[in-house]
Amino acid sequence: MIFSPTSLQALQAAQFDTVIDARAPAEFAQDHLPGAINLPVLDDAERVRVGTIYKQDSPFMARKLGAALVSRNIAAHLQGPLSDKPGGWQPLVYCWRGGQRSGAFAMILRQIGWRVAVLEGGYKRYRHLVQELLYESPFPSRIVLLDGGTGSAKTEILKRVSALGGQVIDLEALARHRGSLFGAVEEQPAQKLFESCLAEAILALDPTRPVLIEAESNRIGALRLPPAIWHAMQGATRVRITAPIAARAAYSLDAYHDLTDAPARLQSIIDALRPFHAAELIDRWQKLAATGQFRDLAEALIVQHYDPRYLRMRSGKTEVQQIALPDLSEASQTYAALRLIELLSEGPLKSCTPERVLPD
């Protein structure tokens, strides 16, 4: 059976027990269908070997070698990851273009008796559908941006809103980055994989409800926000979290403890700020880092680096709402999340300053 979805929604709605990516591991790592498992019919080295023979020696010899390798690898999958699949198991198989690799895998699975579908056009077809959603289609929900200066606990508040039932997309979690020069958490995904994860998050939205997204620039680390979401964010309502500098510095120290535990890395990142600040200021920050004065360093970076940049980036943006917090304790974060839930459900938003941290 050939499966020919016309949209990501149709692909998502399809009922397959397992989605199998038959491409090489390096191709799979760059991007793949959400939830797919990688059962390569040729591994990375084998794919290069067969391709080299095809181009430099003989297409016939390449196909013969490829058939032997594919057969051996499929046999290993049948005796390994697929050994416990029942007779009614229905997988979807795809490769790069939906051609020889997925076709060979599907043919053997069908001979066993399984009802196998092959994705027409393979990964390239899926990638086209992702680009159609993210580059050509309007964003489906009304966006509300959660704004605020560095260290105002926006990411944690966003998580609390989600836990309370609010509709949220956490861009920094998808990008595996905290959104600043100091924000690298781990190796970021490839741009295509980031877009696949973002497309999956968008498809999960209820278009009748607003979605809360943290205000970002059009880049998160090395990754770019695609046009559909970036254009929608540009015109979105903003809710700004405010808190005292000391509270923001304390929160930053906790959030970025991995940097205070690695002084050499911290000093290297500070040094990367030299194009933006006078040498004397950089040297002062380096001294604070070297002597372990991390609270003073955090306050200095907020006041002298991040807040001025924040003001420049937000110049011309209309601030519609504000939630002023006395501190960034868990109670205050919960208060902010509850207020955001109320604001999102009430429609038109109003500026709010809490008289106390927790509501009745």
The last residue of a domain, from among 99, 133, 167: 133
> How much is the mean pLDDT over the chain?
90
Give pLDDT, residue 180.
65
Least confident of 37-41, 184-188, 233-237, 319-323: 184-188
Q: What is the pLDDT of residues 250-306, one digit of tens each?
A: 999 888 877 777 788 888 889 989 999 999 999 999 999 898 898 999 999 999 998
Domain containing residue 38: CATH number: 3.40.250.10
| Residue in 62, 95, 211, 340 annotated catalytic | 95
Q: Are residues 127 and 176 in the same domain?
A: no
Residues above pLDDT 90, as percent of the chain? 76
Give pLDDT, residue 359.
38
Give pLDDT, residue 355.
39
Q: Are residues 78 and 186 in the same domain?
A: no
The last residue of a domain, from among 86, 111, 133: 133
Residue 359 located in a structural domain = no
Query: By the 8 A CB rule, do 175 and 221 touch?
Result: yes
Q: Are residues 159 and 178 in the same domain?
A: yes
Q: What is the pLDDT of residues 97-134, one digit of tens each?
A: 988 899 999 999 999 999 999 999 999 999 999 999 99
Give pLDDT, residue 146.
95
pLDDT at residue 347 above 90?
A: no
Q: Any catalytic annotation for residue 352?
A: no
Domain containing residue 175: CATH number: 3.40.50
Least confident of 193-202, 286-295, 341-350: 341-350
Give pLDDT, residue 179.
66
Residue ranges making up the domain that contains 53? 2-133
Give pLDDT, residue 310.
82
Give pLDDT, residue 187.
86
Q: Are residues 111 and 226 in the same domain?
A: no
Number of domains the chain is built from: 2
The partner residues of 323 in beta bridges, in order of sequence, read: 241, 352
